[in-house]
Homo-oligomer: A and B are copies of this chain.
């Protein structure tokens, strides 16, 4: 699905998929007690509505919550996708046991979910964690947000794809040039393919992007002093060099006291963090379950939703 098709088409499609799931799995509609939804853009959590999401034309103030609440007669919670991912990591991934942590997603764009005192921190207007548009360079690279020099515009997945294609077109890299000829376009993962073939230009591009992100995170480490940073998203999955470059820059540019116990790791949940996080959001909001005290009867495992081996029905219905 493409979110640019607009909310009506996309949400109708999701509803159709839900109906198929309910029929195929013979789910009792009354057992659907709540729904959790993540959206790739800023969301006003209170109303469950996207607010001027840059990559989602037509979605501004669309009543996503109301759409599903009307259809399923259960409470619906809508949040930014990176917050949902951070919550998933908090409940069932590397974030378990960490009260102050960051989840950084480097995909097409760059975003950050903030855990403060064990809970999602959303800020005054729900836009907290929007680190992709922090200014990192005086170069006049125009960002999709309209500003120049944003982190996302020089180190996000879309930027890497553009930089790789430029390098190929300018004949700076034979490996990238061959790949571009073959496929017609290049993505961030093609860079890791070129690195595996020993291409120095691709290596430099990934290293520089990692260093840019790392320097930005170093500043946030000084400010926020988290115990843990989990990195996820498509670009992070391209290989170890990217992660190593980020790590190196964070440890070099942060204060010693702030990095003494800091852990920086790649997400182990991967794509499943979103499903788990959406379910966790419902549990937290609807049942007021606190992950800090989620043990025994009210623990995550007691609900069976976060069993990473056997996916139970609840993981879909919630």
Contact = CB atoms under 8 A, between A and B. Distances in A.
Interface of A: 42, 51-52, 100, 112, 114, 116-117, 121-131, 133-135, 145, 147, 215-216, 218-220, 222-227, 253, 255-258, 260-262
Given A100-B123, A117-B116, A255-B145, A135 B261 contact: no
A116 to B, nearest CB: 5
Contacts of A133: 222, 255
A223 B226 contact: no
A226 B130 contact: no
Most B CB atoms within 10 A — which of A51, A122, A145, A224?
A224
Nearest to A258: B127
Nearest to A99: B124
A225 B123 contact: yes
B258 A130 contact: yes
A135 B253 contact: yes
Contacts of A127: 222, 225, 255, 257-258
20 contacts: A52-B256, A100-B121, A116-B116, A123-B224, A123-B225, A123-B258, A124-B226, A124-B227, A124-B258, A124-B261, A125-B261, A126-B257, A127-B255, A129-B223, A130-B257, A134-B219, A135-B215, A223-B223, A223-B224, A224-B224
Given A134-B219, A226-B123, A51 B116 contact: no
B255 A222 contact: no
Contacts of A224: 114, 123, 128, 223-224
Given A112-B223, A124-B226, 11 more contacts: A42-B257, A100-B124, A122-B225, A125-B257, A127-B222, A127-B258, A128-B223, A128-B225, A133-B222, A134-B223, A147-B253
How many monomers of this chain does the complex have?
2
Contact of A135 (B116, B129, B219, B226): B219
A250 to B, nearest CB: 11
Nearest to A51: B257
A48 to B, nearest CB: 16
A134 B42 CA distance: 26
Contacts of A253: 135, 147
Contacts of A262: 124
Contacts of A131: 219, 222-223
